[in-house]
Structure formats: structure tokens, C-alpha cells
Amino acid sequence: MAGLASSKISSDFHSLLYTSYTQNPSSRSKFRKSIYFPSALIDGQGATSYSVRSRQMNHVKCGMKAASSIVDPSSVSVVDELKSKEWEIGALKDELAATQGIRIRRQPPTDPPLHYVGPFEFRLQNEENTPRNILEEIVWNKHVEVTQMKEKVTIDSLKKALESAHPPRHFIGALKASYLRTGFPGLIAEVKKASPSRGVLREDFDPVEVAKAYEKGGAACLSVLTDAKYFQGCFENLEAIRNAGVQCPLLCKEFIVDAWQLYYARTKGADAVLLIAAVLPDLDIKYMLKICKMIGLTALVEVHDENEMDRMLAIDGIQLIGINNRNLETFKVDISNTKKLLEGERGEKIRQKDIIVVGESGLFTPADIAYVQEAGVKAILVGESIVKQKDPTQGIRQLFGKDISS
Ligand SMILES: O=C(O)c1ccccc1NCC(=O)[C@H](O)[C@H](O)COP(=O)(O)O
């Protein structure tokens, strides 16, 4: 089915372009008929489980440059056709994400391939191909990183490794138990050496020592940064903490852009993963939630604004939502963001759905904790204010204004 539909679309597409081009060669419009495969589906099996859907002709502005040369149509290779199709799929993914308010493009807008329409060739104009902000840069880099990792570690080998993986620890259960025990939001303490917004936070950074100090201070769970380039983290830290006998459930703090990463994180000792609504379209979130449930991972779905919160509240199966007070595009931190997103109908819907909310970023004092707790959070995710303390155990005591360890 997919193959047939694709070739039909391809011929329609080119015949339409040929007609458009020959009738009004100066036309400044691009017709695009595209196919959408959610990126999360392309894990080697999923892609065939989705029907190919040709979409309405989209009439969007672009410039069609006059043919620079006359080519023999029979010389257009299958590779050119596939490159053209790949480019169209990438462009459509961004277009579909944009309809959900997502501004992050998953990959650089590559140069559109040369289009061959009958005896003509032309190239559609290109958008800027530099990242618009740090989050988009991280996501583009992550795509390259994961593509390279997937060449070395297959999804089948990961699925095989999962057969002997440790049983997952109950991430949400630990947060709820901590809240009941202390009367404070459960603490997800973040093992983070550095970040794009704050640089190096802790020079003498021993992840296992930091993790043990957090556990001693009363953390319910830990968040472990595994991104190397922008946070100086790594998966070896996650494994080392797991293997050091730390009992806290572990959140793999990674930028998930591909379902393969979920399997990989689970094999490296993760009990939970982060799904960022600013990066992942709804279909990817839904698909990844299913995979998380299947392989024993808790999903912390992160939002920053009302649009992202409304999108996530419309998705069934989400149990844990993190409200990030840091704008990951501008780095601006404002803890009132948590209050804003929990007011009114949104707060009511969260209570009805029994969703646990995590207040994330910019929490430094007992007053900050009281503020977000009053807003309705049952858990908090804290990095900078405790990881930079000489004694992180003491840092937790200062953060809460009391010893929450027993
Ligand atoms: O912290 C950054 O600079 C950053 C930049 C781009 C994407 C994510 C980023 N941080 C991840 C986080 O959200 C924080 O590590 C986490 O919420 C803890 O925040 P904090 O307590 O302020 O360290």
C-alpha cells in the first residue's frame, strides 16, 4: 500500500508541477503533496503500521527558479526521487508541528533537491538553515548523534538487552511517598555538571558522589543529564549511579527525538524519561507514551506555555507533567509560569485526571517551594541551587528550610 500510494503521489506531484510550470512559468507557488510518517514510528517496524496519507495540495510561497538546464527525464535517478521525497517529508513534519504551535524544527532545512519536471529542472528556494535558538540547536545536534548511535546499536539488540534489564523503580510512587512523608513536594534532584544558560555549575563533579549526597538529603528521585555536548553529561553517569546502589528512581534527562532513545535509556538504567512538548508533535508523544508503558519507563512530559499544556491535557495516558519555568529558547526563568499554567480550567482538568505536576527550574529558597506548592505542584525538579553547593545534602536542607531526609 505505502509503495503504491507513494509512486502515485510522485507522478501526480510531478505532473502537477509540470502543468503549473509550463502554463505560468513565473508562478511563485509551490505545490506539495506529501506523505507523513510520524518520526517516532520509524523504528524499523512502526513505519509500515501507518497508512500513507496524501494531503491536500498546499499552496505556499516559494520561488521557482527557471530551469538552469534541460535534462533528459529518463536520467532522473531513483536516488533523486527519494531525496526529493525525503525532503518533502521533512518539510511536512515541520509544517504539521507548526500547526500545533511547535516552533522547533527537528532537522536543518536541507537544500531542497533539484526537481525534475519533464525536460526542466529547478530548485525551490531554501529557508535559513541555522538554528533559531539553543533548543533547536540541541535538537539538531541530537538528531545527528542518535543517527550515528543507531548505526552502532540496533533496535533489535536493545530489545534483546531489555530482556535482562533491571525491573523499573516506581518513579511516581517515590514522589507520592515523599510528599506524604514530608508534606513537601517530592524532590527530583538533578545531577548536572553544566548547562547552556549557566555554564559549569560544579567543577569537582563526581556524579555518584552528588547522587549519594542527594539521596542522603531526602531526594525522592534523581534526574541525570546524559547530553554530553551542552551539559557535560553522559550515559556512563546514569549507569554508574544505578550500579552504585543508589535506590532513588532515575530520570534520564535527555532530549528525546527518536523512539530508539527510549529503549537505549532503559538499558542504561533509566526508570523515567523526559518528553518535551516544545520538540515532539502530539503523534510522537502518543507513540512514545505507548513505548514507555511497554518497556517500563515513566514519562515526564514537559511543557512551558499554555498551548503546550493544553495539547498535553488532550492526550490520554499522561500521568506526570513538568512545568518548566525556564524558557528553553530564551533561558528566561520565571517561577510564576507554574502558577499561570495551573490556574482555572487547566488546574481543574489536571486534578480530574489525577496528573502529578512537577515544578521545574529556578527554585532556590523555601519561599520558592511554598509558592509552587501553593500553585498545586506535588513534585519539584531542582538542579542549580543544590548541585553547586559544596555539600549537596546541606543544599537540600537549605532549599527546604529543614531536614527532609527522615
Ligand atoms: O538549563 C539550561 O540552560 C537549559 C537549556 C536548554 C534546554 C534545557 C536546559 N535546562 C534543563 C532544565 O530544564 C534544567 O536543568 C532543570 O529544569 C533544572 O533547572 P535548575 O534548577 O534551574 O538548574
Contact (Cβ atoms closer than 8 angstroms) between residue 307 and residue 343 = no
Give the pLDDT of residue 58. 36
To the query of whether residue 239 is one of the catalytic residues in this protein, the response is no
User: In the prediction, which pLDDT does 135 show?
Assistant: 96
- Percent helix, percent strand, percent coil in the chain, to nearest 5: 45, 15, 40
Note whether 172 and 186 are within 8 A (CB).
no
How high is the pLDDT of residue 180? 98
| pLDDT per residue as tens digits for the range 319-349 | 999 999 999 989 999 999 999 999 999 999 9
Instruction: Please work out whether the CB of residue 326 comes within 6 Å of at least one atom of ligand 1.
Output: yes
Residues in the chain predicted with pLDDT less than 50, given as ranges, are 1-68
SS3 category, 19: helix
What CA–CA distance (Å, rounded) separates 224 from 241? 9
Query: What gap in Å lies between CA 31 and CA 16, rounded to an integer?
Result: 8
Rounded to the nearest angstrom, the distance between the alpha carbon of 328 and the centre of ligand 1 is 8
Q: Which residues contact 352 (CB under 8 A, 6 or more apart)?
A: none
What's the grid cell of residue 36?
507523513
Coil/strand/helix, residue 194: strand
Residue type, 16: L
Q: Which of 319, 268, 277, 314 is nearest to 295 (CA)?
A: 268
* Residue 236 in grid coordinates: 556512563
Q: What is the C-alpha separation between 155 and 284, in angstroms, rounded? A: 17
pLDDT at position 116: 63
Q: How far is CA 209 from CA 147, 389, 391, in A?
A: 32, 13, 10
For the stretch 178-181, contacts whose Cβ atoms lie closer than 8 Å and that sit 24 or more positions apart, written own/partner, are 178/218, 178/220, 178/404, 179/378, 179/379
User: What pLDDT sits at residue 391?
Assistant: 98
Whole-number Å distance, alpha carbon 395 to ligand 1 midpoint, is: 18
What predicted TM-score, i.e. pTM, was given to this entire model? 0.81
Judge residue 151's burial from the number of C-beta atoms within 10 Å of its C-beta, 0-12 exposed, 13-18 middle, 19 or more buried.
Answer: exposed
Residue to substitute in 104, 201, 326, 386 for testing ligand 1 pocket (most ligand atoms within 8 angstroms of CB)? 326
Rounded CA-CA distance 4/219 in Å is 55
Task: Characterize the bridge pairing of strands 120-123 and 114-117.
Answer: antiparallel
The C-alpha atoms of residue 269 and residue 354 are separated, in whole angstroms, by 27
* From 324, 361, 399, mutation site for ligand 1 pocket: most ligand atoms within 8 A of C-beta: 361
Write the CB contacts of 271 (distance below 8 Å, at least 6 apart in sequence): 168, 169, 170, 171, 221, 249, 250, 251, 296, 297, 298
* Helices 2-23 + 78-99 axis angle, to 10: 90
Question: Is-catalytic flag, 136?
Answer: no
The three three-digit cell numbers of residue 22, written as one number: 509550463
Instruction: Quote the ipTM score.
Output: 0.98
Neighbour tally for 14: CB within 10 Å? 20
Rounded to the nearest angstrom, the gap between the alpha carbon of residue 120 and the centroid of all alpha carbons in its chain is: 40
Does 190 contact ligand 1 (Cβ within 6 A)? yes
- Quick check: 299 and 276 in contact, CB under 8 A? no
- Residue closest by Cα to atom 3 of ligand 1: 197
Question: How much is the pLDDT for 113?
Answer: 61
Give the pLDDT confidence score for residue 212 in this predicted structure.
98
**What are the tens digits of pLDDT across the range 207-250?**
999 999 999 999 999 999 999 999 999 999 999 999 999 999 99
CA distance 186 to 180: 9
